[in-house]
Structure 1
């Protein structure tokens, strides 16, 4: 197994036990924890704090069971769960509109210590700003999160209560916020990197939430499965659970017209090749339909100009470096006013073909010359605005697919549908793009290759 395939899994505090056996097991674990700490407690917790503490213990136990059962079914044994022990992080007041439950607080720290003291977990606490040695790995790793593993005693209690199989754990996300707002970032980082901020109830967020729930209803019941069960993604190393379908919509820069892309569902982090070779819907493989050069075409729509025919990233002199040009174009659209780019982004350098290596300023100038109508938008910080338009287009497409009884899996500017629904989906995508942008969009279709489909 490669180092990439040994990714630990984040604790998901929305996980709970769904079976009677699981709930009885959780009660046993909570009882052990409370009995162990009782002699050393000088005063009882307030009722709300006490209930929250039990919820934390229940959620951690459910996560440990989930980890063990997922690894048992996929023959993986070296992964752990990671969770923060940072008082700075855990002591923050939990906003109303946040992705975490309101009972997550700094009680996590003594709970982890008590579970370790009662031999329920192995706990690997990081050295501040340094390396941590994980005895469950041959490799060393960096990080500021604590890694936990279930102990033999924990597994023995599982066996005694008949807790075996993923069906004992589910995700109870009734209170989870699905419309998130991220903080402003001057450096132009994308949506998942900046901090969540709270916001007052408002009609705009309510509208987005209502639409997302309509889309989610179809995804929740759609017959979707993945070949090779929960085996990890070759790209991310993450174990795959097809029950984890809940989408969230993330807006940036504390604005409701910034970004709005979809995140959260299990298929989004996978590679294109994995989606095409492992996902089955309605008993069929899926095809990918995506908009060719979407960011560039949206930028031309914003500039009220017509793009060139053909590939928007085919800059003369850099035909072998399409990936480089694509990343650079995106960077220029995200660059903030006043920033004069003179270097290529790291990802762009990776896509630069060895036969076409030139000074960064020469490549940047060639791209700007190729897309002269977009010069006013380069360095204007419009990237998030274009992402918002992209997400609105995808939302409209998903809603129209729903009316036709078609389930679509969104991945930013692409959508995956069963192979027998490709033509209907393509027509809808072209129609929506025309309506929203005022020009023709180019939809590419990638069908699954049977010779590359996993057995």
Structure 2
């Protein structure tokens, strides 16, 4: 049975605090201060052991130095970012180099550098746990003192050219068999790669701050999926954008985000997956809340996760996934839930257990990319959130119009948009302040549409 991708991602996100930063092999020392720090760290590393009678290879020393500088750049992001990272997650497994890897050093070089930096007292290391987590590296106070002494800032971090933005993966993260899949360039991938370059270029030339602080370079990627590594290479499943620090930012911290000095608004497509399933059938969904299963009105969050998961199964759903039973009232089984979902949505019930979810997700991502490019052509940066965006408050109306127009262009009708309330400290000491009138987010432009 296919893993319940969306449900597992949501549960993982809820358990992810404090977050880890994922190692990026394309980060580089760009400014004078960070170059000086990287040189200082490299000088602290132990000299490599050389076999008697042999000379040290200059290219090996070059690879080691490049690897060290990249590792230091990653540690600086983990140290200085306003996002509170618990450490740096580093992949150290050897494998055949693919289009996703840097060619000038490998996992062996990185493993050696990490060991030497640890011996120098600059990091602590938690070993990887098979199928659970990668090696976790945490900067020590000594490293933080070096960063402060050199006057390093995140503006000193550069992102090298060459990292792939169109990724293809096989398997699932929950199964422990998620692997990158190499592919041959084609016109479709080239077009998407150019789109991502445009989106990343705009975001990296935008003042995106968290709590008034820089957050490091932005490098978004689109991740597509095939079932098995030997399957035909295709780019019509999944396709969501990843890599933005704001995607995992807790809701209560989103008020700290600013774009070019302005607070953000959070705009979302309402009931996106159900809407897209109806679009696939050329139908309009019923009015009202599309997740309002009778008897489960007070358990909407669980209903949403479970209903969406029905599109990500390639076999008949028979059991509730782990954690779901406790989120539902007594007496609810998967059989009962599925019957209730089918009764609420008979027109799309035949799509349950067909694994169509990844195709719906790809359509969702196409809509989102179109919105980002359209707004970008007007000089408006937007932060993607899978089925929504965050934009500067003054650009809200333009963003809403763009979301309605682009969704109509992609699926034949405008999809309803909701503005989610962003919780902000209240100037009059009330607990929360909503960016809309009232305490709840409301639908925009489509008052008869369901809520998010």
| TM-score using structure 1 length | 0.79
3-state SS in 2 of match to 1:372: coil
Aligned to 1:234: none
- Does residue 1:27 correspond to 2:1, yes or no? no
Aligned to 1:113: 115
- Does residue 1:93 correspond to 2:83, yes or no? no
Question: Contact 2:31–2:157 at 8 Å: present in 1 too?
Answer: no
- Cα deviation per residue 1:265-321 (whole Å; 9 max; x = unaligned)? 11111134432x221223322111111111011111112222111211112222122
Change in CA separation of 1:299 and 1:190 when aligned onto 2, cut-off 3 Å? farther
> For 1:204, which of 174, 182, 188 is the aligned residue?
188
Question: Contact 1:11–1:82 at 8 Å: present in 2 too?
Answer: yes
Question: Contact 2:76–2:154 at 8 Å: present in 1 too?
Answer: no
Aligned to 2:217: 244
User: In structure 2, what is the Cα distance between the partners aligned to 1:210 and 1:202?
Assistant: 12
- Cα deviation per residue 1:390-413 (whole Å; 9 max; x = unaligned)? 000111111221233322111011
User: In structure 1, what is the Cα distance between the partners aligned to 2:192 and 2:175?
Assistant: 17
Question: Contact 2:325–2:332 at 8 Å: present in 1 too?
Answer: no
> For 1:412, which of 373, 386, 397 is the aligned residue?
386
Question: Contact 2:220–2:242 at 8 Å: present in 1 too?
Answer: yes
Which structure 2 segments of 5+ residues have no match? 1-14, 227-232, 427-431, 435-452
Question: Contact 2:126–2:137 at 8 Å: present in 1 too?
Answer: yes
3-state SS in 2 of match to 1:299: helix
> How much does 1:427 deviate?
1.7
> For 1:60, which of 60, 68, 71 is the aligned residue?
71
Within 5 Å, which residues of 2 pair with 1:256-405? 256-275=235-254, 277-336=255-314, 339-346=315-322, 348-349=324-325, 351-352=327-328, 354=329, 357-405=331-379
Within 5 Å, which residues of 2 pair with 1:34-53? 36-38=47-49, 43-44=54-55, 46-53=57-64
- Cα deviation per residue 1:207-260 (whole Å; 9 max; x = unaligned)? 00111112222212223222264xxxxxxxxxxx52332211111114211111
CA RMSD of aligned residues (A): 3.3
> For 1:179, which of 159, 162, 166 is the aligned residue?
166
Change in CA separation of 1:439 and 1:93 when aligned onto 2, cut-off 3 Å? same
User: In structure 1, what is the Cα distance between the partners aligned to 2:165 and 2:63?
Assistant: 22
Aligned to 1:166: 153
Question: Contact 1:10–1:81 at 8 Å: present in 2 too?
Answer: yes
User: In structure 2, what is the Cα distance between the partners aligned to 1:211 and 1:127?
Assistant: 35
| TM-score using structure 2 length | 0.79
> For 1:219, which of 196, 203, 211 is the aligned residue?
203
User: In structure 2, what is the Cα distance between the partners aligned to 1:255 and 1:192?
Assistant: 22
Question: Contact 2:128–2:136 at 8 Å: present in 1 too?
Answer: no
Which structure 1 segments of 5+ residues have no match? 131-141, 230-240
Change in CA separation of 1:217 and 1:143 when aligned onto 2, cut-off 3 Å? closer
Aligned to 1:126: 127
> How much does 1:174 deviate?
1.2
User: In structure 1, what is the Cα distance between the partners aligned to 2:355 and 2:180?
Assistant: 21
Question: Contact 2:22–2:88 at 8 Å: present in 1 too?
Answer: yes
Aligned to 2:135: 145
Figure out how many residues of one structure are paired with residues of the other and give that number. 408
- Higher mean alpha-carbon deviation, 339-348 vs 284-293, is at 339-348
3-state SS in 2 of match to 1:267: helix
> How much does 1:83 deviate?
3.0
Question: Contact 1:37–1:114 at 8 Å: present in 2 too?
Answer: no
Aligned to 1:17: 29
Change in CA separation of 1:41 and 1:426 when aligned onto 2, cut-off 3 Å? farther
Question: Contact 2:259–2:392 at 8 Å: present in 1 too?
Answer: yes
User: In structure 1, what is the Cα distance between the partners aligned to 2:388 and 2:106?
Assistant: 35
- Higher mean alpha-carbon deviation, 379-388 vs 397-406, is at 397-406
Change in CA separation of 1:261 and 1:193 when aligned onto 2, cut-off 3 Å? farther
